[in-house]
Structure 1
């Protein structure tokens, strides 16, 4: 199952929601949204700095990830970035593939 790193920062309106329902309420909302599309939350951390929330989630496919991302962004409560995560085995398989590439200027 594809795994994604999600980094999110709350908008002022989203922060008001977090203050009203607390971190556990927001985690429950995330788990519900993710599980509704067949995914699961592996880790959820709150932070401070550029990102307010960091998640690692599993989804059955990229379309499920895109659907949740669109719904969250449409809410206006968060700004998010999703990074696909690859296993060591996946990178090992990638290193064994032959790629025909010519560098600029060659």
Structure 2
């Protein structure tokens, strides 16, 4: 399972409906996650760029995409942003893998960096 953070903005129509008839939308989030074989870890209204932040634990990317598509298609939210979350342990594993890679930036970047004393690699 993988954690996904979803951030959304409620439309004016959605806010109007929620103010007129308040309801706990976390129940819908929980139901959708369970239908996909996952869980809704948390659900928060937020102040700032997005109105809603929720975290889902889902089995795969297709499930995360399906959830995003279904929510977007409902018309109550806009600007649905989905972000894959990594645990600190996963990040350390990624860092360890990165150590063994021999990435070199494009040759043109070498000329712009005074602190790189070596000449750019021929294979760029």
Q: Who is 2:72 aligned against?
A: 73
Runs of 4+ in structure 1 off by over 6 angstroms are none
Q: Size of the alignment, in residue pairs?
A: 105
Structure 1, gaps ≥5 residues long? none
Structure 2, gaps ≥5 residues long? 108-119
Write out aligned runs for 1:38-57 (5 A). 38-57=37-56
Scaled by the length of structure 2, what TM-score is found?
A: 0.77
- What secondary structure does 2:83 align onto? strand
Shift of 1:77: 1.1
Aligned equivalents of 2:29 and 2:21: distance in 1?
13
Aligned equivalents of 2:23 and 2:54: distance in 1?
13
RMSD (Å), alpha carbons: 1.5
Q: Who is 1:101 aligned against?
A: 103
Aligned equivalents of 1:35 and 1:21: distance in 2?
25
Q: Which has the larger radius of gyration?
A: 2
